[in-house]
Each structure stands twice: as C-alpha cells, then as structure tokens.
Amino acid sequence: MNLSWSANGVDPLKMIEFAKSIDERLAVMLSLQHFFGLRVKESIEMRPGNALIDGGRAIEVFEGTKGGKPRQVPIRNEAQREAFAWACRVATEGRIKRLRWPDCTWLQAQGRFYGFMRRLMITKDQLGVTPHGLRHGNLQRLYREESGFLSPIEVAASSQYGTAVAMPIPPLGLTREIHLQACRTVSREAGHVRTGIGASYFASYGHGLRKGPRLDNESVPPPTSMKVTFE
C-alpha cells in the first residue's frame, strides 16, 4: 500500500497552503516534511538557523532525529530553498529559534501538531493519510530523480496487473546498479544505514533485477504476490 499523500488523493501543496491559513508554523513543519522528508519530530524541533551547511547546498538534520543520528540532506531545487528560507524566517520569531511553538515544550508541541492534524483530517480514519505519508512521498520522488524511473510501488500501481500488493516487474532499461544507487541515496538522506530500508517507503522488485535489465522483447509473466511492510 502506497502511504504517500498524492497516491491517496491528497495534494500536499494545497494542504500546506490550507494549513498556513490556520497556523503558519504548522504549515512550515508540513513543508519541511514534504520537501526534505523530515520526520514529524525533526520538523518540530528543527533550528533552521543552525542547519544550513556546505555553503548553503545542504541542511544538517540533528534535532529530534531517530537515535540521535545527524544526517545531511542536499538542497536540490528552488522549491526546497524557498521552503527552508520560510522556515528560517518563522523560527526567528520565537525566542528559542526552533520551529516548535515558543510557548510549548516538545510534548506540548507534539500534542498541538496532532490536534491540528485531526482538524485538517490528516488521519487514517479521515482522509486516509498520516503526516508520515509526506516522508513516503518525498523519498519516492527522490528515487525517481536518482534513478530516472518510477519507484517499485508506483510501477505496481500503474502496471497492467494493477495492484500495489503485487510484486512489480522492473521497467525496461532499469538496471540493478541504477536501482541500488538510488536506494543508497534514499537511505542516506532518510537517515538510515541499511540500503534495503527504502523498501519500507517504496516497496521493491524482489529478485526481478538479479538477472539484469529487462529487454523490450522479453515476455513479462504475471507478478507474484508479496508482503509490503512500512516503517
């Protein structure tokens, strides 16, 4: 099952704009989750003024990370640059320079954030998505940019066989090397050590790439079923 917002009919940019009409800090947090793949806690606890590194070409995520492990996320495009500049401006308005609401502790900010999510209907029971789905969408886009191909879970959804629970067939031209390099980049920018963790966000091709890229005259058997797990 694809947990990204777009795959479930929710437009991230429109929702961020709607969130801005309710609370600007909330909108900034969602924007960082969408454009940089930040986890909820990372977006709440970030101090943007301390995050820019490498001559402005990347941000370092170190506040609120899983296991306390810092990571670097490159700034790849103007949309990311604008989102980060927005975060910097909003954070300077509070005495603690975090994106967290200045009158809140971390736990209070977490409660306020999820209260807003219910108000926006960003829950599995309402619109069918959660905030973490923004991270899924971001990492799926990153896989596409790095490989030049749809991610496995997107291939499965768009295939002639039609479901996201079927083992997708690798698209024509995709090699194991291209796939693995894209997975390495995704894992690194997501803050994970294991390359295979990418499957938690965009599924996998199983053994489909082990014999080399598929040729355009090669017959395609029906895909086998698989169990997709998500972190």
Q: Would the pTM count as exceeding 0.75?
A: yes
Helix axes 132-147, 176-190, angle to 10 degrees: 140
Mean pLDDT of the region 83-93: 96
Mean pLDDT of the region 131-135: 98
170 neighbors 223 (Cβ within 8 angstroms): no
Residues above pLDDT 90, as percent of the chain: 70
Look at residue 1 in the predicted model and tell me its pLDDT: 87
Tens-digit pLDDT profile for residues 59-75: 999 999 988 899 999 99
Look at residue 50 in the predicted model and tell me its pLDDT: 95
SS (H, E, C) the chain: CCCCCHHHCCCHHHHHHHHHHHCHHHHHHHHHHHHHCCCHHHHHHCCHHHCEEHHHCEEEECCCCHHHCCEEEECCCHHHHHHHHHHHHHHCCCCCCCCCCCCCCHHHHHHHHHHHHHHCCCCCCCCCCCCHHHHHHHHHHHHHHHHCCCCHHHHHHHCCCCCCCECCCCCCCCCHHHHHHHHHHHHHHHCCCCHHHHHHHHCCCCCCCCCCCCCCCCCCCCCCECCCCCC
Q: For residue 230, what pLDDT band results from cuts at 50, 70 and 90?
A: very low
Look at residue 215 in the predicted model and tell me its pLDDT: 54
Tens-digit pLDDT profile for residues 146-191: 999 999 999 888 765 545 445 788 989 999 999 999 999 999 999 8
Tens-digit pLDDT profile for residues 4-23: 999 999 999 999 999 999 99
Q: Is the pLDDT of residue 32 over 90?
A: yes
Look at residue 214 in the predicted model and tell me its pLDDT: 58
172 neighbors 74 (Cβ within 8 angstroms): no
The burial of 206, by beta-carbon neighbours within 10 Å (0-12 exposed, 13-18 middle, 19 or more buried), is given as middle
Q: 60 — phi, psi (to 5°)?
A: -105, 125
The domains of the chain are located at 6-131
Q: 48 — phi, psi (to 5°)?
A: -55, -35
Tens-digit pLDDT profile for residues 191-223: 887 877 778 888 888 877 876 665 554 444 444
Look at residue 161 in the predicted model and tell me its pLDDT: 52
